[in-house]
Amino acid sequence: MAFSGNNPTLFNAAVNGFLAGVLDSRAGLDPVTADYAAIEAAAVAFATEVDAQIAVDANITTAGTPNTTIAPVAGATSAGAYAKSHLMFSLCFGQWSGRLNQVPDPLAADYLSLALGIKGAYNAGLAAYAAAPGGTSLV
């Protein structure tokens, strides 16, 4: 199935951050893959809503049908892509850390308020990079 969202890199980072955050409080992980189905569905729903709130970023995504991630290259483009995806992962991890006991919700629209919060913090993070000494650009 082809990706149908805005930014595959940020979508993946949101899924990973959700999963890492929710599973953060577990003492150990269950070896049975099927036992994670509800959490996986919720992670995808959450990431879908987060991705829907962030416009296509031409510095990390090639717009098309489907949108695709720009291949890593040396220099500022790769550094920017890494920084943006790590920022997204960190925000989503922080949002979900320790929330394992909440019932996972597989409906993307139910995550709108959380997604808008992530978007606001993500944009603030991008602005912080630009305001850094020397004006670090995230190309």
Q: What is the pLDDT of residue 105?
A: 83
Residue with tokens 């729903």: 45
The helices-and-strands tally (H runs, E runs) of the chain is: 4, 2
What whole-number distance in Å separates Cα of residue 38 and Cα of residue 41?
5
Strand runs (DSSP E) across the chain, as ranges? 61-62, 68-69
Tokens at 20, concatenated = 């890492």
pLDDT, position 35? 86
Q: Does residue 14 have a pLDDT over 80?
A: yes
Task: Look at 48-52, 60-64, 120-124 and tell me which has the smallest mean pLDDT.
Answer: 60-64
Contact 15, 41 (CB under 8 A): no
Structure tokens at 37: 């189905």
Segments making up each domain of the chain, as ranges: 8-131
Chain Cα centroid distance, residue 7:
9
**Residue 56 dihedral angles phi and psi, to the nearest 5°:** -55, 125
The span from the CA of 12 to the CA of 107, in Å, is 17
**Model's pTM, two decimal places?**
0.87
Confidence of residue 77 (pLDDT cuts 50, 70, 90): low
Question: Tell me, what's the pLDDT at 75?
Answer: 61
Average pLDDT over residues 97-119: 86
Percent of the chain scoring above 90 in pLDDT: 42
State whether the Cα torsion 126-132-138-139 is positive or negative. Answer: positive
**How remote is the C-alpha of 68 from its chain's centroid?**
15
Q: What pLDDT was estimated at residue 81?
A: 82
E strands in 15-72: 61-62, 68-69
Query: Does residue 13 have a pLDDT over 70?
Result: yes
Mode of pairing for the β-strands spanning 68-69 and 61-62: antiparallel
